[in-house]
DNA sequence: AGAACATAATGAACTACGTTCATTAAATGT
DNA sequence: ACATTTAATGAACGTAGTTCATTATGTTCT
C-alpha cells in the first residue's frame, strides 16, 4: 500500500502514469469510433495511431497488443448494452419485462451493429485464452436475464433457473444474429421485432405450462 | 450448345479443363483438412499450395481468391451437415423428429467444430456481397427444418410456417453457438444436450398451446 | 516431326498488416 | 545544471494475400 501514497505525495510517477492513462483513453476512444463505424475488421494499428495522435509504437506502451485493446472496447460495449437493458425498478408484469429485455437486445444490436458484432467476431490468437476479467464481464449479460427469470420461476432450484436464463439468452441471441445477418432480402425491422416477440410468447407459454 | 461438343469431339480444351478441375479439387481437399483441423484462421495461401502440391500462384488460376475457395469449402460443409441431418423416411412422431434435428445440429457442430464455425466466422471483404449460389446453399439449411415443422403445424399459411422454422433454427443455432463457446468452465456434453432437449420441449409446448 | 502459337504454372516481388527495438527525446532526481 | 531513469518514435521485421513478368507446357498447323 506504500507505493501509490508516495507517488501521490511526491508526484513523482504521477504525471507519467496519468499520461499513459490519457493515451489509453485516446486509443480506446479512437478504436471505439472505428469499430462502431466500420467494424472490427477496419481497425488498423497505423490508422489508430494517427487518430489518437501518437506514434505507431506508442500503442504498445499502452496495451500489450491490439487484442487487449479490442477486449477493452468490447468491455465498453458490454456496459453500454447493460445500461441500454437496465431494468427501471421492480416490474409488475414479469413476462412483459422479459419481452422488453429480448427486444432491447435486438434493438441495441440493430442500432449498434458493428460494435455489437465485434463482441462475437473477435477471437483470441490460438493458445491465448480470454482473460478472466473479460469472461466475468460477459457473464454479467446472462445475469441480467437471470433476475427477471428467477422471479418468473419460483419453482426449481437456482441452478436450473440459471441454465434456463442462459438458454433463453442464447435463443434470443441466435434469432438476433441470424435475423440481422442477411442484408440482401432484408427482413423488415418490424417483422423481425414481431418474430422475436412471438418467440418470447411461445417460449414463455411453454415454460409456464410445463411447470 | 456448340462449344463443349466441339471440345468433346476434338479433345482440344478437354485436358486443360480437367487439369484445372483437378487442381481445384486438390486445393479444396487440402483446405478442408486445414479448416477441419485448425479452423479458418489457420488457412494460409503458402501452406495450402504446399499441401496441394502446386505453386503459390497456381491457387489464383483455380480460384479468384481465397474467399472463393473458402466459400466452396463451406458449401461442402453445408452438404455434409445436410446429410448428417437427413430425415430417414416419413416420421410418425413429429415432435421427436424435430428434437432429433436440433440435437443432430448440435452434435454435428460439436463433432466438426472448426469446420462448422467457419460457416459463420467467414466474412466477405467490404463491398463484396455473398454470391447468390452460396446464399441459396445456406437457405437449404432452413428448409430442412421447414418440412417437419410444416407437418407439425397444419394451421397457418406457408409463410408463417417458414418464419417459424427460421425462428426455431435460429434459436437452436444460438443455443449451440453459446453452448460450445466456453472451453473453460465447459458445459458437459450431456448437460448441453439436455438443455437443448429441454428447450425443444418448451418451444414445442408453447407452439401447440398457442394454436 | 517440328515450328508457331496459345495456355498454364511459377515464385520473386508488391502491398498491407501487427509487432519489435535501437535510437531519440523527455521527464525526473540530486 | 547534470545524470539518470523513463517514455516516444518510426524504420525495420515477419507474415500475410495477391500480382505479373517469365518460364514451361500443351496445342495447332504445315
Whether pLDDT at A91 is above 80: no
Residue B206: the pLDDT is 94
What span, in angstroms and rounded, lies between the C-alpha atoms of A14 and A9?
A: 9
In this structure, are B87 and B50 located in the same domain?
no
Q: A109: domain CATH number?
A: 1.10.357.10
Same domain, B174 and B98: yes
The total of other beta-carbon atoms located within 10 Å of residue A1's CB is 4
Determine, yes or no, domain membership for B196: yes
Is A9 domain-assigned? no
- Report how far residue B168's alpha carbon sits from residue B146's, in angstroms, rounded to the nearest whole number: 9
Asked whether residue B134 falls in the same domain as residue B176, the answer is: yes
pLDDT tens digits, chain B, 211 residues: what are they?
333 333 334 334 456 667 788 899 999 999 999 999 999 999 999 999 999 999 999 999 999 999 999 999 999 999 999 999 987 766 667 788 899 999 999 999 999 999 999 999 999 999 899 999 999 998 888 888 777 877 787 788 888 888 998 999 999 999 999 999 876 666 789 999 999 999 999 999 998 876 5
Same domain, B45 and B112: no
B169 and B99 in a common domain: yes
Interface contact flag, A210 B204, Cβ < 8 Å: no
CATH code where residue A49 lies: 1.10.10.60
Distance (Å, whole) CA A102 – CA B4: 56
Judging contacts by C-beta atoms under 8 Å, the chain A residues touching residue B177 are 170, 173-174, 177
In chain A, the residue whose alpha carbon lies closest to the alpha carbon of B197 is A167
Q: Can you give the pLDDT at residue B184? A: 61
pLDDT value at A151 more than 60: yes
| Spatial distance from the CA of B60 to the C1' of C7 (Å) | 15
pTM recorded for the entire structure: 0.90
Q: Which three cell numbers stand for residue B166?
A: 427460421
Whether A86 has a pLDDT exceeding 70, the answer reads yes
Same domain, A100 and A147: yes
Per-residue pLDDT band for A100 (boundaries 50, 70, 90) equals: very high
B202 vs A166, A173, A206: nearest CB: A206
Same domain, residue pair A122 and A166: yes
B45 in the same domain as B142: no
Domain extent at residue B19: 13-63
What is the rounded CA–CA span in Å between residue A150 and residue A165?
Answer: 8
Say which CATH number the domain at B36 has: 1.10.10
Residues having Cβ less than 7 A from any atom in strand D: A 13, 16-17, 19-20, 23, 54-58, 60-61; B 10, 12-16, 43-46, 56-57, 59-60, 65-67
Using an 8 Å CB-CB cutoff, list chain B residues near A105: none
Nine cell digits for residue B154 = 397444419
Query: According to the model, what pLDDT value does residue B57 have?
Result: 96
Q: For residue A5, is it within any domain?
A: no
The cell numbers describing B26, all together, are: 486438390
Q: What is the pLDDT of residue A68?
A: 96
Q: Are residues A173 and A202 in the same domain?
A: yes
Rounded to 5°, the CA angle A200-A204-A207 comes to 145
Structure letter (DSSP) for residue A87: -
How confident is the model at residue B114, as a pLDDT?
98
Confidence of residue A183 (pLDDT cuts 50, 70, 90): low
Total domains present in chain B: 2
Q: Which of A59-73, A132-146, B114-128 has the lowest mean pLDDT?
A: A132-146
pLDDT band at residue A210 using 50, 70 and 90 as cut-offs: low
**Digit-coded pLDDT (tens) for A1-25:** 333 333 333 334 456 667 788 899 9
Query: For residue B180, how far is the Cα from the chain centroid?
Result: 17
In this prediction, residue B183 carries a pLDDT of 65
Nearest to A123 by CA among B72, B186, B40, B179: B40
Q: Name the grid cell of B210.
A: 398457442
Please give the pLDDT value at position B1. 39
Up-side HSE of residue A74: CA atoms within 13 Å toward CB? 24
Q: What is the DSSP string of chain B?
A: -HHHHHHHHH-TTHHHHHHHHHHHHHHHHHHHHHHHHH-GGG--HHHHHHHHTS-GGGHHHHSSSHHHHHHHHHHHHHHHHHHHH---S--S-HHHHHHHHHHHHHHHHHHTHHHHHHHHH--PPTT-PPPHHHHHHHHHHHHHHHHHHHHH--SS-HHHHHHHHHHHHHHHHHHHHHHHH-SSSPPPHHHHHHHHHHHHHHHHHHHHHH-
Amino acid at each position: 500500500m506504500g507505493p501509490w501514497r508516495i507517488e501521490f505525495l511526491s508526484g513523482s510517477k504521477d504525471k507519467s502514469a496519468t499520461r499513459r492513462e490519457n493515451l489509453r483513453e485516446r486509443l480506446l476512444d479512437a478504436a471505439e469510433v472505428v469499430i462502431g463505424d466500420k467494424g472490427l475488421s477496419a481497425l488498423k494499428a497505423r490508422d489508430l495511431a494517427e487518430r489518437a495522435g501518437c506514434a505507431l509504437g506508442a500503442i504498445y506502451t499502452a496495451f500489450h497488443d491490439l487484442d487487449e485493446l479490442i477486449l477493452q472496447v468490447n468491455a465498453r460495449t458490454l456496459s453500454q448494452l447493460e445500461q441500454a437493458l437496465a431494468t427501471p425498478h421492480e416490474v409488475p408484469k414479469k413476462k412483459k419485462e422479459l419481452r422488453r429485455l429480448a427486444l432491447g437486445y435486438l434493438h441495441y444490436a440493430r442500432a449498434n451493429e458493428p460494435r455489437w458484432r465485434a463482441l462475437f467476431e473477435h477471437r483470441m490468437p490460438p493458445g491465448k485464452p480470454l482473460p478472466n476479467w473479460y469472461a466475468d464481464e460477459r457473464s454479467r449479460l446472462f445475469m441480467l436475464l437471470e433476475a427477471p427469470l428467477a422471479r418468473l420461476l419460483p419453482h426449481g432450484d437456482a441452478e436450473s433457473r440459471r441454465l434456463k436464463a442462459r438458454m433463453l439468452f442464447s435463443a434470443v441471441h441466435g434469432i438476433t444474429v441470424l435475423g440481422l445477418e442477411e442484408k440482401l432480402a432484408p427482413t423488415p425491422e418490424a417483422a423481425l421485432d414481431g418474430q422475436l416477440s412471438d418467440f418470447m410468447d411461445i417460449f414463455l407459454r411453454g415454460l409456464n405450462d410445463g411447470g
